[in-house]
Amino acid sequence: IGSQKDRVVTEEEWLQKWETGNIGFHKEHGHPLLQKYLDVLLNGRSGLKIFFPLCGKAVEMKWLADMGHSVVGVEVSEQALKDFFTEHNLPYFEEPVPEISGAKVLQSTSGNISLYCCSIYDLSSSIVGKFDGVWDRGALVAVNPRDRQRYVSLMITLMEKKSSYLLVTVSYDPSKHKGPPFYVPESEIKSLFGNHCEIKCLQKVDDFSEKHRQWGLDYFLEVIYILKFAA
């Protein structure tokens, strides 16, 4: 989208957000849309392997692990991952990831949460396997617009047959805010994912707040989709 397409947020800038506590995107009590549409994601299945791209310290990772699913996340900020384990009093251990130079994985001692500290683009199905479900809130909308195709191509290679992908995007006037989060229109979601899965918009929610007013916006919506991959 015009003014946003060339915008680049570097890894250093994201790390700085975590270091300075500038993490307004983190939801301390979890995201109401995941609670509302969890059944759509699970689709009657139990013991799923669920992926959290650009996971931060999302509280839903523990929530889903406690339900018996296994959770894998990826995040460049090691601080975010350590905070996750500390804030939930979860014992964990760290291991290097031999396939990725400088990367490590922080794993709960119970074994059902594995969080990779590296760039998402370093992951592949040979390292993390494939997933039955994805919760993508704050990931696609945080990826630099020019990297969107690369991101989606990777995500598609990580999906099992018959998997479900809950995707939350945001809608606002992109000429008034440079992002992130970036505006991703429905037409672009269809062109990025459309050849690989069935896409359905579940709900648009008014999420406008004082913060968005300060950004110069007069509306801000969260839009949630379910993407269903074929058998």
Query: 95-139: per-residue pLDDT in tens?
Result: 999 999 999 999 999 999 999 999 999 999 999 999 999 999 999
The CATH class for the domain spanning 11-24+33-229 reads alpha beta
The residues spanned by each domain of the chain are 11-24+33-229
Distances (CA, A) of 74 to 84, 201, 211, 212: 12, 26, 27, 27
* 229: DSSP letter: E
pTM: 0.97
- Amino acid at the residue 152: V
Query: 62-71: per-residue pLDDT in tens?
Result: 999 999 999 9
Position 2 confidence tier, pLDDT thresholds 50, 70, 90: low
Give binding residues as ranges. Answer: 14-25, 54, 75, 119-120, 137
- Please check the confidence at residue 1 and state whether its pLDDT lies above 60: no
Query: What is the length of the chain?
Result: 231
Say what the pLDDT of residue 21 is: 95
**What dihedral do alpha carbons 43, 124, 153, 42 form, nearest 10°?**
10
Position 55 confidence tier, pLDDT thresholds 50, 70, 90: very high
Average pLDDT over residues 21-41: 96
Percent of the chain with pLDDT over 90: 98
Q: Which residues pair with 107 in a beta bridge?
A: 93, 114
Query: 165-218: per-residue pLDDT in tens?
Result: 999 999 999 999 999 999 999 999 999 999 999 999 999 999 999 999 999 999
Give binding residues for S-adenosyl-L-methionine as ranges. Answer: 14-25, 54, 75, 119-120, 137
Return the closest-CA partner of residue 128 out of 97, 84, 165, 88. 97
Average pLDDT over residues 29-37: 97
